[in-house]
Structure 1
Amino acid sequence: MTEADTPTEGNGAQPETPKVNMRILAQYMRDMSFENVAAQKKLQGANVQPDIQVQVSLDAQKREAENQYDVATKFKITSKNKSDDQVLFMIELDYVGVFMVEGVPQEQLHPFLLIECPRMIFPFARRIISDVTRDGGFPPLNLDTVDFLALYRQEVQRQAAAQAAAGKTAPMPN
């Protein structure tokens, strides 16, 4: 490629792409609940085989400060006994990171907040869940890594389907 083929600005320099700058300003548990149903119902014995269901949802909100966002990762985990479908324990964790994000184009900000930011705080939420299950009398639950990109895509598809369904059932204007 010759210099003439290279896109340049008026001064002959390469155009700069904005530099992305992201920092975690704070992390906290907004809400957490652990219910040890097995202990309440006095379930025990060798016939306990847990079947664990994990649901993850995401949310991002703009803060009043410039370029700052709250990104919440919400986990709902239910462990049931495979043999009789009895609930062993339930965990609900709403874990929030406060992020400063600069240099991300506006059209890419939403996916950035709901993919990259949860990736950064996930190990901390995983540790809390592991510690809570262990302290609750169960083996530590070490969650598999969450594919936040796939989760984001599923949510976008779900919203598009909901909008399409709402559009089909909406009355036609006169």
Structure 2
Amino acid sequence: MAENGNDAPAAAPQVKMQVLGQFIRDLSFENILVQKGIDGDVQPDIQVQVSLDAKKRPTDHQYEIVTKFKVTSTNKGTGASLFLLELDYGGIFHVEGVPEEQIHPFLLIECPRMLFPFVRRIISDVTRDGGFPPLNIDNVDFLNLYRQEMARRAEGEAEKPTLS
């Protein structure tokens, strides 16, 4: 155990995270219901797909995280499309004090959690402005999403043939 001279254990490095900026990289909303018209009773079925991307920026301790949401709504009765919303929302983060082996999960779990309330508001506003009731998407479990992606990658690595 490391000591700092006054018989107290050395403190672990303090994690610092700061959001330096947020931005919409891409936003698309297609109101298929209005374009094509749908007769009869409309009972929406909403599907939300989420993917994440993180990359190191040239400046020390800075990372760019992009959350990608694809929201599709179809009519339960007929399967006809009602709307399609795609949103790529990014943030620039300054992160210090996270051990190297933990930076990847930190960037893909904690940073998207910080961005999510803004994504939820944008999706709600766009669906409302598009003529639908505001869609307030459920919280996303970024920890579970990260675990699923790591399991998928591990499975993909196990299936690759080896060269001899």
What's the TM-score, normalizing by structure 2? Answer: 0.96
1:18 pairs with 2:10: no
> Any stretches of 5+ residues in structure 2 without a counterpart?
none
1:33 pairs with 2:35: no
In the alignment, what sits opposite 2:148?
154
Counterpart CA distance in 2 for 1:36 and 1:70 is 30
1:63 pairs with 2:63: no
1:107 pairs with 2:97: no
1:109 Cα offset (Å): 0.3
1:91 pairs with 2:91: no
Select 2:162's aligned residue among 158, 162, 170: 170
1:170 Cα offset (Å): 3.3
Counterpart CA distance in 2 for 1:170 and 1:15 is 45
Code of the aligned partner of 1:23: Q
SS at match of 1:113: helix
Question: Aligned residues: percent identity?
Answer: 61
SS at match of 2:119: helix
Count of aligned pairs between the two proteins: 163
Report which of the two structures shows the higher radius of gyration computed on alpha carbons.
1
CA contact (8 A) 1:38 1:44 kept: no
Code of the aligned partner of 2:33: A
Change (3 A) 1:132 1:10: closer
CA contact (8 A) 2:4 2:10 kept: no
> Cα RMSD (Å) of the superposition?
1.1
What's the TM-score, normalizing by structure 1? Answer: 0.91
Counterpart CA distance in 1 for 2:136 and 2:39 is 22
**Consecutive aligned runs of 4 or more in structure 1 exceeding 2 Å deviation:** none
Q: Deviations over 1:49-72 (max 9, x none)?
A: 000010000110000111000001
1:13 Cα offset (Å): 2.6
